[in-house]
Amino acid sequence: MNWFLRFSKRNKNKFKYSFSFLSVILLSFVLYKFYKMGILTNEKALSDFLGDWYFIAPIIFISIRLLVSFVPFLPNMFLIIVGFSVFGTIKGAIYNYISSVLAALADFFLVKIFGYKVLKTTFSEDKMKKYKKQINQSQKRFNRFLFITNSIPLAPSNFFCMIAALTSLPIKRFINIILVSKFPETLIIGLVLKYFESLLRSFL
């Protein structure tokens, strides 16, 4: 048993990346099947597929978004696009906003409850060193940086939400930052997708 524990510890990163890679393959396969059925591009197709259980579709989507946010390399942005594509601009924006806020809160409270080990398990030491400058700045500047990273699509917001739990940032202040910052992030993504949708239609 001890040899297995030592082996697991030495190969922790390999296990983590292998799990992430297999998760990407599995999720990609499932999403491809759903795409072929029209579920990822048409709300009516999704409604027909779920039947009387369609009311749980937003819950399923939000739950998947939450799960993906904790697993490195999984295509979170792709799921955001799916949300807009399936549910439309308004409902897609609402569900994406809710899931983004919940994911940020989950990141924060996981580290708040279980400590630094959650951060070490999720991210590599290289990434910690990469953002060392932002981590070691004053609380006021860190709060500003936290707001910016959560406002901009594709920024490493989940990493800094976890880091925030190790600072002196009050919980109420963190929640306020997330509630406000996730709004422009969702709006930017929605507008960009709307622009490219219109651009694509002009060529068809």
Q: Is the pLDDT of residue 135 over 60?
A: yes
| Confidence tier at 57 by pLDDT (50, 70, 90) | confident
User: Which has the minimum average pLDDT: 48-52, 178-182, 189-193?
Assistant: 48-52
Residue 204: the pLDDT is 39
| Confidence tier at 15 by pLDDT (50, 70, 90) | low
Task: Give CA–CA dist 165/178, Å, rounded.
Answer: 13
Share of the chain above pLDDT 90, in %: 19
Q: How would DSSP label each residue in 152-195?
A: STTS-HHHHHHHHTTSS--HHHHHHHHHHHHHHHHHHHHHHHHH
Task: Give CA–CA dist 68/91, Å, rounded.
Answer: 20
pTM: 0.75
pLDDT greater at residue 4 or residue 160: 160
